A and B are shown apart, each in its own frame.
Chain A
Amino acid sequence: MSKTDATNSTSDRGGPRQPLIIAKNLKKHFPIRSGMLNRQTATVHAVDGISFDVKKGETLGIVGESGCGKSTTARLLIGLIELDDGSIIFDGDVLGSDIKLKELRRGVQMVFQDSYASLNPRMTILDSIAFGPKIHDHKDPASVARNLMERVGLDPERFAMRYPHELSGGQRQRVNIARALALSPRLVILDEAVSALDKSVEAQVLNLLSDLREELDLTYVFISHDLNVVRYISDRVLVMYLGEVVEVGPVEAVYKEQAHPYTASLFAAMPSMDPDNRTEEPPLAGDPPNPIDPPTGCRFHTRCRFSESVCSKVKPKLNVIADNPDHLAACHIKDVGSGHSLAAQEAGE
Chain B
Amino acid sequence: MTVAAEPIITEEVKQKSPGYWAGVMKRFMRDPVAVGCAVIILLLILSAIFAPYLGLNDPYKASMIKRLKPIGFPGFPLGTDEQGRDMLARLIYGGRLTLFVGLTPVVLAFFIGSSLGLIAGYVGGWVNTVIMRTVDIFFAFPSVLLAIAISSALGAGIVNSLVSLTIVFIPPIARVAESATASVRSLDYIDAARATGGNALTIVRVHVIGNVLGPIFVYATSLTSVCMILAAGLSFLGIGVRPPEPEWGLMLNTLRTAIYVNPWIAALPGLMIFITSLCLNLLSDGLRSAMNVKD
The A/B interface has a contact count, at CB < 8 Å, of 108
Set B188, B193, B194: member contacting A114, Cβ < 8 A:
B188
Query: Which of A13-21, A56-64, A104-112 contacts the other chain?
Result: A104-112
Chain B contact patch, size range: 20 to 34
**Any A CB within 8 A of the CB of B125:** no
Q: B136 to chain A: closest CB distance in Å?
A: 15
Find out whether the CB atom of A211 lies under 8 angstroms from the CB atom of B5.
no
A108-145 near B? 1/0 per residue, CB < 8 Å: 11101110011111111000100110011000000000
Q: B94 to chain A: closest CB distance in Å?
A: 40
Find out whether the CB atom of B195 lies under 8 angstroms from the CB atom of A80.
yes
A102 contact set on B, CB distance < 8 A: 197
Alpha-carbon distance between A122 and B195 when the two chains are bound, in angstroms: 19
Q: A336 to chain B: closest CB distance in Å?
A: 44
A204 contact set on B, CB distance < 8 A: 3, 6
Set A113, A119, A162: member contacting B17, Cβ < 8 A:
A162
B206: nearest chain-A partner, CB-CB: A131
Alpha-carbon distance between A40 and B5 when the two chains are bound, in angstroms: 49
Find out whether the CB atom of B4 lies under 8 angstroms from the CB atom of A153.
yes
Alpha-carbon distance between A75 and B194 when the two chains are bound, in angstroms: 11
With A114-B188, A118-B188, A122-B210 as contacts: A80 and B3 at CB distance below 8 Å: no
B15 contact set on A, CB distance < 8 A: 157, 161
**Any A CB within 8 A of the CB of B1:** yes
14 contacts between A and B (CB under 8 A): A105-B195, A108-B195, A109-B195, A118-B188, A123-B210, A150-B1, A163-B17, A166-B9, A170-B8, A171-B8, A179-B196, A207-B2, A207-B3, A211-B1
Interface size of A by CB at 8 A reads: 53
Alpha-carbon distance between A22 and B198 when the two chains are bound, in angstroms: 25
**Any B CB within 8 A of the CB of A151:** yes
A155: nearest chain-B partner, CB-CB: B5
Find out whether the CB atom of B197 lies under 8 angstroms from the CB atom of A136.
yes
**Any A CB within 8 A of the CB of B202:** yes
B214: nearest chain-A partner, CB-CB: A122
Find out whether the CB atom of A153 lies under 8 angstroms from the CB atom of B197.
no
A208-222 near B? 1/0 per residue, CB < 8 Å: 100100000000000
**Any A CB within 8 A of the CB of B137:** no
**Any B CB within 8 A of the CB of A223:** no
Set A154, A161, A167: member contacting B16, Cβ < 8 A:
A161
B21: nearest chain-A partner, CB-CB: A122
**Any B CB within 8 A of the CB of A168:** yes
Find out whether the CB atom of A176 lies under 8 angstroms from the CB atom of B3.
no
Find out whether the CB atom of B3 lies under 8 angstroms from the CB atom of A171.
no
**Any B CB within 8 A of the CB of A230:** no
Alpha-carbon distance between A179 and B198 when the two chains are bound, in angstroms: 14
With A155-B5, A204-B3, A207-B2 as contacts: A80 and B198 at CB distance below 8 Å: no
A105 contact set on B, CB distance < 8 A: 195-197
Find out whether the CB atom of B2 lies under 8 angstroms from the CB atom of A183.
no
**Any B CB within 8 A of the CB of A78:** yes
Find out whether the CB atom of B197 lies under 8 angstroms from the CB atom of A120.
no
A170 contact set on B, CB distance < 8 A: 5-6, 8
**Any A CB within 8 A of the CB of B289:** no
A207 contact set on B, CB distance < 8 A: 2-3
Q: Which residues of B in the span 12-38 have a Cβ within 8 Å of any Cβ on A?
A: 13-17, 20
**Any A CB within 8 A of the CB of B65:** no
Find out whether the CB atom of B20 lies under 8 angstroms from the CB atom of A131.
no
Find out whether the CB atom of B8 lies under 8 angstroms from the CB atom of A168.
yes
A189-219 near B? 1/0 per residue, CB < 8 Å: 0000000000011001001100100000000
Q: A216 to chain B: closest CB distance in Å?
A: 13
A174 contact set on B, CB distance < 8 A: 5
Set A106, A163, A171: member contacting B6, Cβ < 8 A:
A171
A135 contact set on B, CB distance < 8 A: 196-198, 202
Find out whether the CB atom of B195 lies under 8 angstroms from the CB atom of A78.
yes
Q: B233 to chain A: closest CB distance in Å?
A: 38
Find out whether the CB atom of A153 lies under 8 angstroms from the CB atom of B189.
no
Find out whether the CB atom of A112 lies under 8 angstroms from the CB atom of B188.
yes
B99-139 near A? 1/0 per residue, CB < 8 Å: 00000000000000000000000000000000000000000
Find out whether the CB atom of A179 lies under 8 angstroms from the CB atom of B6.
no
**Any A CB within 8 A of the CB of B58:** no
Find out whether the CB atom of A153 lies under 8 angstroms from the CB atom of B16.
no
**Any A CB within 8 A of the CB of B63:** no
B6 contact set on A, CB distance < 8 A: 168, 170-171, 200-201, 204
Find out whether the CB atom of A132 lies under 8 angstroms from the CB atom of B196.
yes
B13 contact set on A, CB distance < 8 A: 157-158
Alpha-carbon distance between A176 and B16 when the two chains are bound, in angstroms: 20
Q: A188 to chain B: closest CB distance in Å?
A: 11
Q: A64 to chain B: closest CB distance in Å?
A: 20
Alpha-carbon distance between A97 and B221 when the two chains are bound, in angstroms: 50
Find out whether the CB atom of B2 lies under 8 angstroms from the CB atom of A211.
yes
Q: Which residues of B in the span 128-155 have a Cβ within 8 Å of any Cβ on A?
A: none
Alpha-carbon distance between A163 and B22 when the two chains are bound, in angstroms: 13
**Any A CB within 8 A of the CB of B192:** yes
Alpha-carbon distance between A106 and B189 when the two chains are bound, in angstroms: 17
B17 contact set on A, CB distance < 8 A: 124, 161-163, 166
B3 contact set on A, CB distance < 8 A: 153, 204, 207-208, 211
